Chain A
Amino acid sequence: MTNRTTLPDARGHFGRYGGRFVPETLFPALEELEAAFKSAAADEQFQADLGYYLADYAGRPTPLYHAARISALLGARVYLKREDLCHTGAHKINNTLGQVLLAKRMGKTRVIAETGAGQHGVATATAAAFFGLACAVYMGEEDVRRQRLNVFRMRLLGATVVPVSSGSKTLKDAMNEAMRDWVANVANTHYVVGSVAGPHPFPMIVREFQSVIGREAREQVLRQEGALPDAVVACVGGGSNAMGMFSAFLDDPSVRLFGVEAAGKGLGSRRHSASIIAGRPGVLHGAMTRLLDDDDGQIRPAHSIAAGLDYPAVGPEHAYLAETGRAVYLPATDDEAVAAFERLSRTEGIIPAMETAHAIARLPEVAAQIPKGGIIALCLSGRGDKDAETAEEIIRLRESVSGDGDEGGPGVTP
C-alpha cells in the first residue's frame, strides 16, 4: 500500500478538488477513518493479513497477459491486467477486503455499500461474509433490474439488498441512500465506498487498496518487456480501477495515462456519463470534483449501458489529473462498448465487463498516439458474465434490424 504520490494534502485536497463536503454528523467518522487507515497502513500485521487474503483468497497476483491477437491487429504490444480473474470477477475485491478488514479493526459490526453494476456490492457482501460482519447493499431499482444475477449473488452471500427508488434509480441514488444510512448508523457501521469517490479520506483509501493493480502491472511489464509501457489505459466510472493502475506510473513521465469515460448515446445527446470530458467542477457526495449538472446546480441523470459507469461524477483525483494534463480522458459510446465487448470475446476468448469494454474500445486511438510497436497496458477490470443478458438483448435487436449477425462493428479493428 505504498505509492509515490504525495496527494491528497492534509485536508484531503487534490489541487482544487476533493475535500469534505458532508453533513457535520459524518465529519468525526471521516477523521476516525483516516486515523484508523493510517495506523493500519503502518501496521505490519495488518499489511501481512491483507496480503495473505489478497493472495490466497482473492487470487493475486493477477496475470499481465500479452494479448497477441489484439496486438497484431493494432500494431502495438497490448497487455491485459487480468482483474477479471480476481475472486468475484472484478478489481472491486481488492478494495472491499481492505476496507472490511479495516472496519473490523475499527470495531464496526456492520458494513454498507452502494453498487451500480453489482460488482462492488458482491465484493462487499463477499468480504462481509468472510469477516463475519452484517452487510446491506444499496442498489438503484434500474440496476436491480439490469444486474439480476449480481442481486442474487449478494443475497446468497447473506447481504441485504435494498432497492433504491428515488431519483434516477441508479448508482448516484444508491450512494445517496448509503450516505443517509451511514449518517444514521455511523456508530457501528462502516461505509465501504466502492470507488475513489466521496469525501476524504475515501479517494485516498480506495486508491491505496487498489494500487496493488498498478504495482503488480509495473513489475510484470518490466519483467516481461524489460521496459515501462508507453501507455496505460483503464475505464473510468468513479475511477478506482484506473487510479489503482495509474498510481504506480504517476511518477514515470514517459508513461502516458488514458482514462475512458462512458459517452452513452453520444456526448451531444446529454445521455452520457462523461463527467470529466463534458462536465464541470461541482460538489456531489462529499467531494469537489467534476460532474454533470444543470445551470441551477441540480445533478443531471447520467447514462451508460454499463451500470458501473452510470454515475454523473468522478473521483476527485481524476478531475485533478485531467486538469494538470497528467492523464488524458477519452469517450466511448454504448455502441462502441458493445462492439468491443464482442470483439474481445472473439479475438481473445475473454468476455470483458461492459465497463471494461469502454477502455477496450479506445485501444486503436491510444495505439495511434504512441510509437509503432509500443507497449500498452490495459486494466481488464472485470469479467462480463453479469452483462451477458444486456448484451444478448442488444445484439439480438441489432441483428433483427440489420440481418447481419457476424460483424461486431468497429471494436478494436484499427
Chain B
Amino acid sequence: MNRIDECFSDLRKRRKAAFIAYLTCGDPSLQVTADAVRTLADSGADIVELGVPFSDPIADGPVIQRASARALTSGASLSRIIDMVAALRGGGLKIPLVLFGYYNPVLRFGPERLAREAAAAGADGLLVADMIPEEDEVLAAACREVNLHRVQLVAPTTPDERIGKVAAASGGFLYAVSLTGVTGEREQLPAGAAAFMKRIRARTDKPVALGFGIGSPETAAAAARIADAVVVGSAIVRCMEENAANQDMLRRLGNFVRELADATKGRSSGSGDSSRILPAVR
C-alpha cells in the first residue's frame, strides 16, 4: 500500500486533517533540506512535499521563486533529490514524500525513468504544477506502473464537471488550490474556499488537500475544518530563509511547524494558547 493512502486512512479514522509541509529541495543545500525534512517529520508534519526547483516557476510567488533560484545555485537536480530521498528512507524516515515540480526537468530526466527511480528511492507521489490531465498520459502511466501517486490539482476556476474528471485522474489525494493566484501567504483563508470545497466534495470521495496562501496557525485551523489536509509552503520556506544564518534554524523551523501542525489537528499550541488565557494587563 502507498504510504499516502495509509496516512489518509489512518487520519480519517481519527477524524483529523493531515498537515502537509512543503520545502524547496536544495535551498540552501540538499544537506540542509534533508535535516529540515527530518525536523518537519518530528514536528508533526504528516506528509512532506519536496519542491524540485525550476528556473521558470510560473505558478510560484516571490518566496518560492527566490528559494528555487538559491536551490539551483546550490546544484540541486532531480537525480540528486532522488538520492536524498533514498538516504532519508535509509535513515528510517517513515512519512509519505511527494515530489512537486514543473514538467521540463521531468521531461529531460525521462518520465518513465523518473517514476521508476523516485518510487525505488521511496517517494510516494508526484505533483507537476504545469501538467494537466490532458497532456499527462505518458507520465501518469509511468507512475501507475510503480505505484507512485500522480496527484492532480483543481483550482477555483475549474468548472464542476471538470473537477470530477481531474479528481478521477488524481492519485492518492486531490490538491485544491485555494485561490486564483500564485503561491504565497495570505492574511486569511480566501473567502470562496468553503464553497469551493463543497463543489469538490460533491464530485469526489478522495481526500482533498487545500493549499496556496495558508501560512499561519489561524489559516491552517480554518483550512483543516473544511479539508482533509492542509498544505503550507511559502511560510515554511520563508521561515528557513529568514533564519538561514541562524545556528538554531532547525529548532525554529520545528517550533513553527509544530504550531501549524497543532492548529491543523485542532490542538492549541502551548505558548500561543497560554498567552491568550493570561490576563491582558499584569
Contacts and interface: CB of A to CB of B under 8 A. Distances in A.
Nearest to B101: A297
Interface stretch (B41-49, B106-114, B263-271): B106-114
Contacts of A268: none
A65 interface: no
A91 interface: no
Contacts of A186: 157, 180
Contacts of B109: 296-297
B55 A299 contact: yes
Given A11-B134, A25-B180, A180-B58, A283 B159 contact: no
Interface residues of B, number: 41
Listed from nearest, the 8 A-B pairs whose CB atoms lie closest are: A297-B108, A297-B105, A184-B181, A25-B155, A296-B77, A298-B55, A297-B104, A179-B58
A214 B166 CA distance: 41
A20 B130 CA distance: 9
Interface size class of A (residues with CB under 8 A): 35 or more
Interface string B164-182: 0010000000000100111
Interface in A1-53: 11, 19-29
Nearest to A12: B134
B15 interface: no
A176 interface: yes
Interface string B109-135: 100000000000000000001111011
29 contacts: A20-B134, A21-B132, A23-B58, A23-B129, A24-B153, A25-B59, A25-B157, A25-B181, A26-B157, A27-B132, A27-B157, A27-B162, A166-B65, A167-B69, A173-B56, A179-B58, A180-B60, A187-B157, A281-B107, A283-B104, A284-B104, A286-B130, A295-B108, A297-B104, A297-B107, A298-B54, A298-B104, A298-B105, A299-B55
B181 A23 contact: no
Interface of A: 11, 19-29, 166-167, 172-173, 176, 179-180, 183-187, 281-286, 288, 291, 293, 295-299
A25 B130 CA distance: 10
B154 interface: yes
Interface string B96-107: 000000111111
A167 B109 CA distance: 22
B56 A22 contact: no
Interface-centre pick from B58, B104, B152, B159 (highest chain A CB count, 10 A): B58
Given A183-B182, A283-B130, A23 B59 contact: yes
